[in-house]
Amino acid sequence: MTRKYIMLLIVSFLILFSCKNDSDNRKSGNLPDDPTLEQINSLLKKHPEDINLLKERAKYLYHNDKLDEAIEDMKKVISKDSLNPQNYHLLADMYLDNAQSRYSIRTMEKVISIYPERIPSLLKLSEIYFIVKQYDKSIATINSILYFSPNNPEAYFMLGVNFKELKQLAKARNSFLTAVENNPEHIDAWLELGQIAEEQNDSMAITYYKNAILVDTTNIEAYHHLAFYYQNHNDIEKAIKTYRKIIGFNPTYSSAYLNTGIIYLKQDSLKQAFENFNIMVNIDKTNPKAYYFRGLVHYLNHENKKAKADFEQALKINPEYEDAAQMLKKLMK
């Protein structure tokens, strides 16, 4: 038997042994060198019937992307505490994140068979149906909610998002309007109304976005929608002012720098454009757009060496970034 063959057997054994250890760790719910999990496991050994500890381990595994192990723990929790609806909700989330939507739906159907009029569970089932694009079933579940709770704003919101996906914008708009009539503080419904109005070139979009801001004066998403509306309708001064307000709330919000930079770029204000794209590069180093647009400013300033470096970096982050590839080819000519 040659030394080479012996070494091959040793390597094979080590690989198999390593795989076995990994498998054993997964089965026992262990994460390597994880003191928090080790502490939970130690407590469970002392108190094996403690459902709360088991549930805590399931949550911890779930948040650490150990979905199979988390699911097994939650199934054990439910076997010992089958009347707690939140247990089913958590297990349904785990199944959904683990690409097991069929089991997620079955889990929610189980809890609804126990509590057929429980609104949060019916809402969750409608959301899951929506996520997996079973819109008819989602709408049917929402109608069940409205039978038990005729003015439920969340039900009307879910009805709206279903109709929106089905391209039935008039029905979607009416649903979102009913949602805000029943809950004027429903920010997501105001934002959806704004997007539908914007799509229909209706200036009511401004009112809807501002209504969302009235509910939460620091809501960055609402300010972003409003700023983008101004930007797309050439109200440049208001757009820049709104983006600056966003930056005041969150100085690392890269999209505000990107869009402000694009506005200045279109105005040939290259100095201001560069400042915004340069900040974006510094706060969002893995965003290829930051390098691409800064590269454009370098290119327009005839700083070809710097432009080339930025376009190359954009392509390094995203090799399929066609605009950066085209600009690089242009520089090579």
The DSSP symbol for 117 reads T
Which tokens is 18 given? Answer: 């390593």
Which of 33-42, 255-264, 302-311 has the least mean pLDDT?
A: 33-42
- In this predicted structure, what is the pLDDT of residue 287? 97
By percentage, how much of the chain surpasses pLDDT 70?
90
Query: In terms of Cα–Cα distance, which of 289, 272, 267, 270 is closest to 280?
Result: 289
Are 256 and 224 within 8 A, CB to CB? yes
Confidence of residue 32 (pLDDT cuts 50, 70, 90): low
| C-alpha to C-alpha distance for 113 and 197, rounded to whole angstroms | 40
| pLDDT above 70 (res 19) | no
Give the angle 314-318-322 at the CA atoms, nearest 5°: 80
Give the angle 102-148-108 at the CA atoms, nearest 5°: 15
Domain ranges of the chain: 252-333
| C-alpha to C-alpha distance for 180 and 218, rounded to whole angstroms | 19
Are 147 and 124 within 8 A, CB to CB? no
| C-alpha to C-alpha distance for 145 and 48, rounded to whole angstroms | 39
- In this predicted structure, what is the pLDDT of residue 28? 44
| pLDDT above 60 (res 24) | no
Query: In terms of Cα–Cα distance, which of 249, 209, 251, 247 is closest to 230?
Result: 209
Are 141 and 129 within 8 A, CB to CB? yes
Task: State the average pLDDT for the chain.
Answer: 91
Query: In terms of Cα–Cα distance, which of 220, 282, 291, 229 is closest to 256?
Result: 220
| pLDDT above 60 (res 182) | yes
Q: b/e for 246-261, b at 16 or more Cβ within 10 A? A: bbeeeeebbbbbbbbb
3-state class (DSSP) for residue 50: coil
- In this predicted structure, what is the pLDDT of residue 33? 74
Average pLDDT of span 52-62:
96
Are 246 and 218 within 8 A, CB to CB? no
| pLDDT above 70 (res 159) | yes
| C-alpha to C-alpha distance for 212 and 100, rounded to whole angstroms | 35
The class level of CATH for 252-333 reads: mainly alpha
The DSSP symbol for 98 reads T
Are 51 and 80 within 8 A, CB to CB? yes
